[in-house]
Structure 1
Amino acid sequence: MQRYTKPAILMHWLIALLIIAAFSLGLTMVDIPGLTPTKLKYFSWHKWLGVTVFGLACLRLLWRLTHAAPAYPTQMPQWQRNAAHALHFLLYVLIFAIPISGYFYSLAAGVPIVYLGLFPLPVFIGPNPELKPLLKLAHYWLNMVLLAAFCLHVLAALKHQFIDRDGVFRRILP
Structure 2
Amino acid sequence: MRVIRQFRNSRSTYGWGSIVLHWLVALTVLGMYPLGLYIVSLGYYDPGYRIYPDWHRSIGVLLLMLLCVRLIWKALNPRPEAVTGTRPWERVAAHLGHWGLYLLLLVVLASGYLFSTADGRSIQVFSLFSLPAIPGLALRQEELAAEIHFYSATLLMLLTAVHLLAALKHHFINKDATLTRMLGLDSEKLNEHH
Q: Please, what TM-score do these two structures have when normalized by structure 2? A: 0.84
Deviations, residues 45-94 of structure 1 (Å, cap 9, x unaligned): 10111111110100000000010221002311100100000000011112
Structure ID, larger Rg: 2
Displacement of 1:37 in angstroms is 3.1
Percent identity between the two aligned chains: 34
How large is the RMSD of aligned CA atoms in angstroms? 1.6
- 1:36-115 equivalences under 5 Å are 36-115=46-125
Gaps of 5+ in 1: none
Matched, 1:161 2:168: no
In the other structure, the counterpart of 2:139 is 128
Aligned partners of 1:45, 1:55: CA distance in 2, in Å? 15
In the other structure, the counterpart of 1:170 is 180
Displacement of 1:110 in angstroms is 4.5
The answer (yes or no) to whether the contact 1:3–1:170 under 8 Å persists in 2 is: no
Tell me whether 107-116 or 9-18 shows the greater mean CA deviation.
Answer: 107-116
Displacement of 1:95 in angstroms is 2.3
> Secondary structure of the residue that 1:108 maps to in structure 2?
coil
Matched, 1:20 2:33: no
Displacement of 1:2 in angstroms is 2.3
The answer (yes or no) to whether the contact 2:114–2:145 under 8 Å persists in 1 is: yes
2:152 to 127, 142, 145: 142
Aligned partners of 2:138, 2:180: CA distance in 1, in Å? 47
Q: Which has the higher contact order (CA 8 A, sep 6+)?
A: 1
- The residue identity in structure 1 corresponding to 2:125 is Y
Matched, 1:9 2:41: no
The number of aligned residues is 173
> Secondary structure of the residue that 2:51 maps to in structure 1?
helix
Aligned partners of 2:45, 2:139: CA distance in 1, in Å? 20
In the other structure, the counterpart of 1:152 is 162
In the other structure, the counterpart of 1:32 is 42
Gaps of 5+ in 2: 1-10, 185-194
Aligned partners of 1:146, 1:35: CA distance in 2, in Å? 30
Deviations, residues 108-148 of structure 1 (Å, cap 9, x unaligned): 1444211112312121036533x221111110111011011
Aligned partners of 1:159, 1:95: CA distance in 2, in Å? 24
